[in-house]
Amino acid sequence: MPANPEKLKSIKEFSHKNIFFAVARNSAGRTFVGTSDFKVYEVDISAAKPELKEIGGHESYVTSLALAGNSVVSGGYDGQLIWWDADAKKPIRKVAAHARWIRDVRVSPDGKWVASVADDMVARIWDAATGKKIHELRGHKELTPHHFQSMLYACTFSPDNKHLATVDKVGQIFVWDIATGAQAAKLEAPVMYTWDPTQRRHSIGGIRSVAFSTDGKLLAVGGMGKVGNIDHLEGKTRVEVFDWKAGKRECEFPGDKFNGLVNQLAFDPSGNWLLAAGGANDGFLMFLDLKTKKPLRQEKVAMHIHDIAVNSAVDSILAAGHGRLIQYDLKG
C-alpha cells in the first residue's frame, strides 16, 4: 500500500546528549549519523538499546552525510569531505573540498557523483569512486544585497542524474547541467530572505532545503517566511514549488501553524504530497497536498529536525535533530 500521512506514527525514539545534524540510511537498514561532537557514527535504531558506534571524525560539526556505494561520505564545518569504510571504521580518502562550512552533501541516484555546497558559495561535483573534482559551479553571489556574507545551504540531484539544484540565503535557486557544468535555470524565492535595517542590521532565513519530484518536473524549496524579530526563528514555515523548466511557480505553502525553518523536503513517489521537516525551538513534520495546495497533515515534534532519511516509498521516516532520533511509519 502507498504511504499514508494519516497513518503517521512514531515507532522508536533514541535520545542522546549529541545534536544529530545528519542522518543517512541504506536499503539494508544500516543507519549513520553526523553529530555535534564532530563524529560519524553507525547506530542500529531497531535495537532494544541503540548505541552509537564510532566510525571516525572531523575537526568540527558533521553537518551532512550521503551514501556512495559501500562508502559513507561526510561533510563538515571544517570544509572537508571524507569517504569512510564503515566496516573497517577508517577513512578511504579526505578532500579539502571547501574554504568555508560545508552545508550539504548529496550523491546522485546512480551513485556516480557526489555534490557538495558550502559558505564559500561554490557547488562542487566529485567522482564518487575516486574523489576527483568534476565541476566547480559558480553563480551564487558571495555577498547578500546588503553586503554581508551569504550562505549556500542545500543541493539535490534530479532523478535522471542530469541536473543539480543549489539554493542560497537570499532566495536564489540555480539548476546546473551535470554533463557540461552550465547553468540550466535560475529561479527565485525572495520571501524566504529577511533583512532588518533598523534593530540589528542583520539578515536571517534563506532557502534551507530543495527537492525534485520523482518525475523531475517539479522543484520544491523550503525555508521560512518574513521574520519580525530576527533574533528568533519566529517566521512561519514556507514551501514553494516550481515547474523549473518553465520558470513558473506552481504553488506556495506559506505556513499557518508552525514557526521555523523547513530544513528537509521529500516528494511522495505518487506525486500527491510533499513532506517538509524542520523546526524552531520545537520541530515539525508537514505533509502538503500538491493537488489542493493545502496542508494535508501537520505534526509537532519535540525537537528541531535537522535531517531526515526516507526510503524509496517514503513510508518510513527517520528524523534526526536536537538530542533525538525518531523513527516514523506511514504504512496504511
Backbone angles phi, psi at 140, to 5 degrees: -70, 135
Residues of the chain falling short of pLDDT 70: 198-203, 229-233, 332
CA distances from 126 to 41, 210, 233 (A): 23, 20, 34
- State the cell numbers at 12: 522508536
Which residues are CB-contacts of 195 (< 8 A; sequence separation ≥ 6)?
Answer: 144, 145, 146, 202, 203
* Domain boundaries of the chain, sorted by first residue: 5-329
pLDDT value of position 194: 86
67-121: per-residue pLDDT in tens?
Answer: 999 999 999 999 999 999 999 999 999 999 999 999 999 999 999 999 999 999 9
| Burial of residue 134 (number of CB atoms within 10 Å: 0-12, 13-18, 19+) | middle
Helix (H, G, I), strand (E, B) or coil at 245: coil
Residue 119 gets which letter from DSSP? Answer: T
For residue 324, the one-letter residue type is R
Tell me the C-alpha distance between 188 and 190, whole Å.
Answer: 6
Which CATH fold topology does 5-329 show?
Answer: Methylamine Dehydrogenase; Chain H (2.130.10)
Task: Please identify which residue in the block is written with the cell numbers 540565503.
Answer: 169
| Burial of residue 60 (number of CB atoms within 10 Å: 0-12, 13-18, 19+) | middle
pLDDT value of position 1: 76
- State the cell numbers at 16: 542522546
pLDDT value of position 231: 62
Residue pair 238/191 in contact by the 8 Å Cβ criterion: yes
pLDDT value of position 28: 87
Backbone angles phi, psi at 250, to 5 degrees: -85, -40
Residue pair 32/320 in contact by the 8 Å Cβ criterion: no
